[in-house]
Structure 1
Amino acid sequence: MSVGSHFRTSASTGEITIQATKADLQAFSAFVSAVPKAAANAQRRAINKTLGWLRTHIARAVGQKEGIAMKAVRQRLRTYLVRGGTMRGKLWFGLNPLEASRTGRARQTRTGVSVGRRRYAGAFYKKVYGGAPDIWIRTGSKHFSADDYPASDVSGAGGPSSGWISENDSRFPLAKAKIELDDVLPLFRSWTQQAEKRFLELLKQELNFELQKHRSKGRG
């Protein structure tokens, strides 16, 4: 318990860990030693409440920054609550580019597709591989820009006009509109720091609650 809450990333995912340190519990050390089960219950509730608080605020912050519906952001966030003896909770999030069609209501226009505050000139919204429709563009279109269609595997010499996009093991001269999420990493770092403060507040509240219950039983 020497390492407190922290944030780390890999190539395609990130993870925020919420846990207490020995210093966090120092003020309640006597109670923790005397009634370890009650103290563990307090820690568990504090961690799980912090994870719920963190998930809500990160979803809102990312949605506002990138113009993405909160529902779409939440689909990239997964909480691992404390349920056993390990007093460590985690919030996982995926950083792979997000399909633009998932970020809001896509609208087909004469000039392309709009979704939220984004516009994809020359694109069309329809099913290509079955399942849900997506926002696509022909790579030969004069409106095609790799910046608007990240994580697409463009192959073939001669530039975009002769390139092919590989999706789902099939090959079509199409690219799917996606949104890169690398720019939101500073938000996760910032909210990790705020989550640490929130966790300490909740931990004190929960430990005090258990302490008062313990004292009430002693007087009973």
Structure 2
Amino acid sequence: MSAGSYYKQSAREGMITLQPSATDLQAFKDFANVVPKAAAAAQRRAINKTLRWLRKEIASAVGREERIAVSAVRQRLRAYPTKGSEGGKLWFGINPIEASRTGRPRQTRTGVSVAGRRYQGAFFKRVYGGRADIWIRTHSKHFDAANYPHSDVGKGGRTGWISESENDSRYPLAKAKVSLDEVRPHFEKWVKRADQRLLEVLRQELNYELQKYLGGIKRV
């Protein structure tokens, strides 16, 4: 039975013999038998951990750069495994977000302010749906279509939009929203960082599986 590595010395030389012990050799054999399963488990954990890390990183970066509450950005991010659990996806809804969700709206006599943005002539109130939003009447002297992108009345700007379902013939209203178009150029950077992170985490998880079968940690 192998006792592991050993050495011998003589008057003229020393010799080291490197070999696994019987216990370690059996652990290697056991690990080899379960490599496919262990590798798949390591890959699945690495993907899930990387997706959580990426979701946190994107939410923090977008919230900081676009002056949007991180919690609101996080709600736009959805992580889920792909078919066969061999990969994962992170969905990011980059359609305009309601300005009322970017921070804590504050109503004043002249308008509404939120997250450093100012909507003169607007009001914060529940008009449609189950929650309050920031609105402005389209016939208000303070309404400027250029400041409400993705609307039916004009183009340009970055602060809101108009939906036909949110207007009627008597009181046409525009709901303030914030465009997320500025995040589009960052996707390539995020993909590269996620790829690097996945490789790091995958190495850690594979090492975990190896150590588990070599007795480095308690079997689970």
Note if 1:76 corresponds to 2:76: yes
1:61 counterpart letter in structure 2: A
Give the deviation of 1:215 after TM superposition: 2.9
Opposite residue 73 of structure 1, the aligned amino acid is: V
Instruction: Give me the whole-angstrom Cα distance separating, in 2, the residues matched to 1:133 and 1:87.
Output: 42
Percent identity, aligned pairs only?
A: 63
Residues 165 and 57 (structure 1), Cα distance of their counterparts in 2 relative to 1, 3 Å cut? closer
| Cα distance, 1:190 vs structure 2 | 1.4
Unaligned runs of 5+ in 1: 1-30, 156-163
1:191 paired with 2:190, answer yes
Aligned to 1:167: 165
State which drifts further: 192-201 or 36-45. Answer: 192-201
Is the CA contact (8 Å cut-off) linking 1:80 and 1:90 kept in structure 2? yes
Shifted more, 142-151 versus 112-121: the winner is 142-151
* 1:214 aligned residue: 213
Q: Is the 8 A contact 1:113 1:124 kept in 2?
A: yes
Unaligned segments of structure 2, at least 5 residues: 1-30, 155-161
Structure 2 letter corresponding to 1:132: R
Mapped to 2, the partners of 1:130 and 1:150 lie a distance apart of 21
Aligned mates of 1:107, 1:43 — CA distance in 2: 47
> Could you tell me how far apart the structure 1 residues matched to 2:80 and 2:152 are?
33
Matching residue of 1:129: 128
Aligned to 2:54: 54
Offset, 1:86: 2.9
Bigger RCO (CA 8 Å, 6+ sep): 1
Aligned to 2:153: 154
> Could you tell me which residue of structure 2 aligns to residue 12 of structure 1?
none
Rounded Cα–Cα distance in structure 1 between residues aligned with 2:124 and 2:193: 39
Q: Identify, as 1 or 2, the structure richer in strand.
A: 1
Give CA-to-partner distance per residue, 1:5-31, whole Å, 9 cap, x none.
Answer: xxxxxxxxxxxxxxxxxxxxxxxxxx7
Partners of 1:170 and 1:55 in 2: how far apart? 39
Q: Which amino acid aligns with 1:85?
A: G
1:104 aligned counterpart, secondary structure? coil
CA 53–95 in structure 1, closer or farther in 2 if over 3 Å, else same: same
Whole-angstrom CA distance in 1 between matches of 2:188 and 2:142:
35
User: 1:98 offset after TM fit, Å?
Assistant: 0.6
Residue deviations 1:2-57 (CA, integer Å, cap 9, x gap): xxxxxxxxxxxxxxxxxxxxxxxxxxxxx788610000000000000000000001
TM-score by length of 1: 0.74
Mapped partners of 2:140, 2:33: distance in 1: 69
Q: 1:216, 1:124 → 2: CA distance?
A: 65
- Aligned residue number for residue 8 of structure 1: none
The alignment's TM-score, normalised by the length of structure 2, stands at 0.74
Change in Cα spacing, 1:137 to 1:42, as seen in structure 2 (3 Å) is same
Aligned-partner residue type, residue 184 of structure 1: V
Contact 2:107 2:123 (8 Å CA) reproduced? yes
